[in-house]
Structure 1
Amino acid sequence: MTEDDDQELFSRKFQTREELLDEVKKFNESRGYVVSIKDSRKDRYVTLGCDRGGVYRDRRKTLITSQDRETSTRLIDCPFRIRGKKQEDGVWSLQLQNSSHNHEPCVDLCGHPTSRRLTKEESLDVEKMSMSGIQPRQILSSLRQKNPSLKAVSRTIYNMKSKIRTDKLDGRSMIKALFDELGHGGFTYNYKHDDGGHLTHVFFSHPKSISLTKSFPTVFVMDCTYKTNKYKMPLLDIIGVSSFNKSFYSCFAFLEKEREQDYIWALQMFSNMKGHSSDDLVIVTDRELALMNAIRVVFPRAKHILCVWHIQKNVLSKCKGYFNKENWDDFVSAWNTIVYAKTKEAYDKAWDSFRVLYMEKKDVIDYIRSSWIPYKERFGSAWTEKYAHFGNRASSRAEGAHAKLKGYLLVSTGDFRQVRDKISLAIDNEYQEIKTLLETERIRIPHK
């Protein structure tokens, strides 16, 4: 750059403050220097200086010990200064106050934090992609495709996401903002807190989930999942089944613990939201005793089925050690004869034969008798095939729903608002899939 370039820049007039800032930054970056705002007053003036201006200030006010980590600073009190001022006619002009730098220009500016800042357009792109659940590294790759000279790094994206979250709070606490957004978004929600005012339970259901729940109110799978939030609270996930045999998220409840009273509160909220009679309700769970007791309290007339897959896994882990490879398959076959007996008479006959056949395996018989036989009416085909469960005798739907949810969450350190936002993305997508299936079936005509 030459002196003529300097004179041209300082003789120019700028229509807006933003135009002035943009041109000054571009001009100095082309010369190997980075400038930042040092002082400003709205619609009056703005002072720009080298980003290496100023001196380090020790805010800790403590003595440095050998155990402290080594620190450094880029500030070397560079004297460079430019002042922009708004004239009476509304345009902005520049005045050079100090043109000297006390350091050499940089060959590459990516080491300067100011050069890594995003433009307004890029910041909007980050916000849109974050709302779509795109990971920061993918956001960064997308921005670089648009701007190959982009100097931002992954930390830039994380900082921008944090700023977006803070801006959305608008001075509110996270909990206040959460409930405001739930209310304005048409969610059904409720919460509990302890005597100290700490939030202990949060229940919520998306408007689209409510619609699906009322449309398909018969079969629901219930299970807790973990590592979804930074508070380490278990998340009760209630999964519904549509007429296309497709799962959908019905509602969610963050619980303080997995106790019977916690489950009772969540199920009462689900019952209020669901609104239908529980006479035809079929609920599938694993053998979580606290949840089973809560179902009996809240839905005494519902048909409760225990997951046969979890039962098989438990029987495998407890009993396989008593058998060798040759007779293990015979044991599994005998046990399946009990589980899938079509009538009560066939069940009784299979159980009697089982006890006689393995009478020498006292520990095995005692385990089966104490752990599973008391719940025979909740997993045996002789009883469960009388219910309209539409083939749902396992909680694998919940496992799949948990996996899908974790795919949206990506991390387990989000707060309630972040988790709610990611859940809403998953619900929007599955709602559209079910709606598409429904409309597709309406326009199909049989060949015969």
Structure 2
Amino acid sequence: MSELLPADHDYTQEFENGIHYASVELAELAAKTIAQQCGFFIIRGAWKPNTAGQNPVTALCMYCDRSSRIVKSYKPDPTKETRGNISSKGTGCQFQICIKEVWQKDGPNTWVMVGVTSRETGANRGFHNHEKVLYPEHHRHNKQFSEAEKERLRLMRKAGVRPNQQKTTLNTEGGVHHDIKQMYNINSKTRLDEMGEMDAIQFALHGAEHRGYHICLQKDSNNVLTNLFFAHPTSIQMLHAWPYVILIDSTYKTNRYGWPWVEIIGVTPVKKNFNIACAIIKQETKETYEWLLRCIKGLLSDTVPNVIVTDKEGGLLASIPVVFPLSHTVHLLCLWHVNNCVKQKFEVLLGGIAKER
């Protein structure tokens, strides 16, 4: 249940403490700290320069963060745990203070906090008309990232740290309560800054080339990407060490374009698999697979694989003798697909008896 700030309490007296601060930044920080201790938040407003007189001074206005005039007739209800569905958190709160520059004759000027009176009514603007902030650690002003935290997030993103781990690290170290959406927003902004004028494909290729990937690509007559092949430098080294058996499979079509995703796998002498390369292709034709095999051949230099294991894809079978005429081709059947097909045919032949059993 929410708790209202006392409507008859003048909070100006908490700020008019007579302390002179060396800079406006220190005075602003002190004002925000006092406001948070009282149960509300204040935000920076406009500067009010005063050039009249012999010694001109300047004042910085600070407003309550609920001071927006968007909500004309706000009536707080302390019996409700959440506020109504309104377009703004503003309540038209009139609270305001000023951080005023004090001219010093014998030294640098200082800054003090002073109250403000209304020009229309002459009343002191030290009162609030809204609820108290019960959980200041979750308030948006306490969840803003410092420049040091933003740089830390950039470094963690560059190191491959996931957003949920980024959130846990920052919240543990800083004692704040950042949420996962903030991590995604910062990472997205960082990625857009890194992309510059490049599109998504150009940025991905630039990042892969920067990390030493071997890349081959094909484009159509309209300069649109149709086939992409890439291999990590460590995978290429492993392929040079064990080029004897290569498995090629293109069963995955889970990308947003519905294109086949081709996995090229190698096998070590101790029967361990390793990833050689990956490719995304537009169509499973003989010409496409011939291009793909030539990309693999470019990684092998002068060596030739002894065995190429396939899933009996027609386009792949037709292209293997063209690129690797000396390699032996073996067809690998997927047991999971075989079992599914047998089950479906079995149920049809027996009229649903197998399904009942």
The normalised TM-score by structure 1 is 0.54
Q: Is the 8 A contact 1:209 1:250 kept in 2?
A: yes
In the alignment, structure 1 residue 6 sits paired with structure 2 residue 15: yes
In the alignment, structure 1 residue 270 sits paired with structure 2 residue 296: yes
TM alignment of 1:33-432, pairs within 5 A: 33-36=40-43, 49-54=63-68, 72-76=87-91, 78=93, 80=96, 100=126, 102-104=128-130, 105-109=132-136, 112-131=139-158, 133-148=160-175, 150-224=176-250, 226=252, 229-278=255-304, 280-308=305-333, 310=334, 313-314=337-338, 317-318=341-342, 321=346
Q: Is the 8 A contact 1:52 1:78 kept in 2?
A: yes
For residues 6 and 297 of structure 1, the distance between their equivalents in structure 2, rounded to whole angstroms, comes to: 84
Q: Is the 8 A contact 1:50 1:81 kept in 2?
A: no
For residues 39 and 272 of structure 1, the distance between their equivalents in structure 2, rounded to whole angstroms, comes to: 65
Q: Is the 8 A contact 2:264 2:275 kept in 1?
A: yes
Q: Which amino acid aligns with 1:258?
A: E
Q: In terms of mean alpha carbon deviation, does 133-142 or 296-305 score higher?
A: 133-142
Q: Is the 8 A contact 1:214 1:276 kept in 2?
A: no
For residues 168 and 13 of structure 2, the distance between their equivalents in structure 1, rounded to whole angstroms, comes to: 39
Q: Is the 8 A contact 1:193 1:199 kept in 2?
A: yes
For residues 9 and 230 of structure 1, the distance between their equivalents in structure 2, rounded to whole angstroms, comes to: 64
The change in CA–CA distance for 1:313 and 1:236 in structure 2 (over 3 A counts) is closer
For residues 264 and 246 of structure 1, the distance between their equivalents in structure 2, rounded to whole angstroms, comes to: 27
Q: Which amino acid aligns with 1:240?
A: G
SS at match of 2:205: helix
The change in CA–CA distance for 1:71 and 1:171 in structure 2 (over 3 A counts) is farther
Instruction: List per-residue Cα deviations over 1:168-203 (Å, max 9, x = no partner).
Output: 223432223223223332221132333444333222
SS at match of 1:11: coil
The change in CA–CA distance for 1:127 and 1:82 in structure 2 (over 3 A counts) is farther
Q: In terms of mean alpha carbon deviation, does 135-144 or 187-196 score higher?
A: 135-144
Instruction: List per-residue Cα deviations over 1:350-384 (Å, max 9, x = no partner).
Output: xxxxxxxxxxxxxxxxxxxxxxxxxxxxxxxxxxx
The Cα shift of 1:72 comes to: 1.8
In the alignment, structure 1 residue 29 sits paired with structure 2 residue 53: no
The change in CA–CA distance for 1:214 and 1:82 in structure 2 (over 3 A counts) is farther
The change in CA–CA distance for 1:266 and 1:107 in structure 2 (over 3 A counts) is same
Q: Which amino acid aligns with 1:6?
A: F
Structure ranking higher on relative contact order (CA contacts 8 Å, 6+ apart): 1
Specify the alignment match of 1:345 in structure 2: none
Instruction: List per-residue Cα deviations over 1:14-65 (Å, max 9, x = no partner).
Output: 49x6x7776554443333333456679xxxx9976544344559xxxxxxxx
Q: Is the 8 A contact 1:281 1:302 kept in 2?
A: yes
Q: Is the 8 A contact 2:12 2:126 kept in 1?
A: no
The change in CA–CA distance for 1:21 and 1:4 in structure 2 (over 3 A counts) is closer
Q: Which amino acid aligns with 2:186?
A: M
Q: Is the 8 A contact 2:15 2:113 kept in 1?
A: no
Q: Which amino acid aligns with 1:157?
A: M
For residues 200 and 275 of structure 2, the distance between their equivalents in structure 1, rounded to whole angstroms, comes to: 24
For residues 186 and 8 of structure 1, the distance between their equivalents in structure 2, rounded to whole angstroms, comes to: 62
The change in CA–CA distance for 1:212 and 1:192 in structure 2 (over 3 A counts) is same
The Cα shift of 1:286 comes to: 1.6
Instruction: List per-residue Cα deviations over 1:229-284 (Å, max 9, x = no partner).
Output: 44443321212223443322211112223343333333222222332332x43222
For residues 145 and 158 of structure 1, the distance between their equivalents in structure 2, rounded to whole angstroms, comes to: 18
Quote the sequence identity (%). 22
Larger-gyration structure (1/2)? 2
SS at match of 2:38: coil
> Which consecutive residues of structure 2, in runs of 5 or more, have no partner in the other structure?
1-9, 48-58, 72-84, 117-124, 351-357
> Which consecutive residues of structure 1, in runs of 5 or more, have no partner in the other structure?
58-69, 325-448
The Cα shift of 1:106 comes to: 1.8
Q: Is the 8 A contact 1:20 1:92 kept in 2?
A: no
The normalised TM-score by structure 2 is 0.65
SS at match of 1:30: helix
Q: In terms of mean alpha carbon deviation, does 220-229 or 163-172 score higher?
A: 220-229
Q: Is the 8 A contact 2:309 2:330 kept in 1?
A: yes
SS at match of 1:203: strand
For residues 317 and 153 of structure 1, the distance between their equivalents in structure 2, rounded to whole angstroms, comes to: 47
Specify the alignment match of 1:403 in structure 2: none
Instruction: List per-residue Cα deviations over 1:403-437 (Å, max 9, x = no partner).
Output: xxxxxxxxxxxxxxxxxxxxxxxxxxxxxxxxxxx
The change in CA–CA distance for 1:285 and 1:135 in structure 2 (over 3 A counts) is same
Q: Which amino acid aligns with 1:292?
A: L
